[in-house]
Chain A
Amino acid sequence: MLIFILRRLGVMVLTMLALTFIVFFLTNLEPNLIKLALSDGNMRMTEEQTMQWLENRGYLRPFHERYFEWLGGVFTGDLGESTRFKQPVTELLAERLAATGKLMFFVMITMVPAALLIGVLAGMREGTRLDRGLSIVSIGSTATPEYVSGIIFTVLFASMFKAWGETYAWFPEWLHLNGSAASATGRSGITFYNFTLPVMTMAIYGMGYVARMTRASMAEVMTAQYIRTARLKGVAFRSIVIKHALRNALIAPFTVIMLQFPWLLTGVVIVEAMFNYKGFGLALVEAAENNDINLLMACSLASVAVVLITQLISDIGYVYLNPRIRVK
């Protein structure tokens, strides 16, 4: 097991090196450097001035030299300064990751139970009307990317319900939600009013996929021999599902949920840009739009680390949850 983890860690480091190298290469392509010069320096610089600007700031030094310099910085904990935010990257990133962490936390605690419930209910009696209905719901949710559900929810909750709340006395006030989460990182903090829409939008897209996986795994378990034995023994259906089936059916969704993180990362970018929430995703978008090299490198490092670590956890967790699997 230890060797397995060590080897995986080695591959992880190699992946991160390769990826940061690629990102560094791409951000240092000439057109991207010019974009940086134009957004950070003066917009109306001539070509010659742009080159001069880049030269003065050391962007035109040999590529490998600068990459190793950056790499050295990583090992000493110095990720450089962000050209877009005029702030040390480590500081900015810590702040932004904390904000996104909160968003992720709420997404996870809404998405996972909902998805598991839908999946288990659909899978425990395969082929029934309940199963069909819930399957359609989960297929529908996988067909609704964040930018679509975000639009629909904002139209409903932020504009229509606002108008209704103002005209009809009976309309519950709390259903009117804020279409912007900008205030959530500000003084007011996270409230139901400003945080529900982004969380809902993100949870919907991922939910369907996890629910489908849970359903498939549950349906498979329900046909197993020991379930039949339990039924013949006369155990109540409810306790068969809860005591016998659930435990075995939830192994596969565990991996799927863990592997959802990379997917959620894309979702985070869209949702944060949509609802104007100052988190990691918005930082990535702004960094990419301005070709803020240091911040982009740090962002890619962070997201790759998240992806790889969740993969590792899902592999190790799988082995622990399923004793039949042995690693070599």
Chain B
Amino acid sequence: MFFSIPNIAALMNRYYIEYRQLIGAFFFGDVLERVMFFIAFGMGLGRAVAQIDGVDYITFLAPGIAAGSGVFIMAVATTYGVSNRYEGSAIWQSWLATPVRLQDILLSELIFNMLRATPSLVILYIVAYFFDAVPSVSGAILSLPVLMFANLVYGSITLNMGVYLGRMLYFRYIQALWVMPMYLFSGVFFDIKEAPEWMQVFANIFPLYHVLEVVRPLVLGRPVDLAQALISFTVLSVIFVVAFCLAYNQFKKRLFD
């Protein structure tokens, strides 16, 4: 499977035009919601929980919210967004009548939404900084490429679910069975090492857990276990490649009969 850079560039330009038109909706959806989560839990629950994993609760929470924000953005984009484009307006079909190919379309969808989600990460870190919740600014900056890659991984997984999103209400399944469990059981809000053992084992199936294993130490200014980081990166890369190929094959069956 080869990708065409000119095709992907042309598609990215088209997404950018859409983004410019809807920048307000994207901004409120992507940024504000996450910032509210951060402030509400950080300031609210943070009063009750004095310290967690050796830091203030709000400081513990900041990398968690950052790492988890892409889960929602990518899930919505690769299911609702994708379904709209290939079933609703059927513009994918019009693109496929040009030299643009399916793999170019799928990768562009992922890259565009990953890029679109990135400013929200930066804004979240800036807000957290003003709450004195970013112990290592350089660590937070270093975590950005990790989180951008993580967002591609989340997107490649939910892209497989987007194939079957025949009815918009089916998104509830994706939310209930994938997005929320991953968000709640990967250690965004609490230290997974303190959780019951079954939950610690359960957390392993979620990419977000593996991402947090790298991102949280980075932002907290702690040494990152390089061996662990390498394992996490390898696992996530394999997930990305497998999920992308599966999604490609499913869409191919669906679109090309």
A, B bound:
no
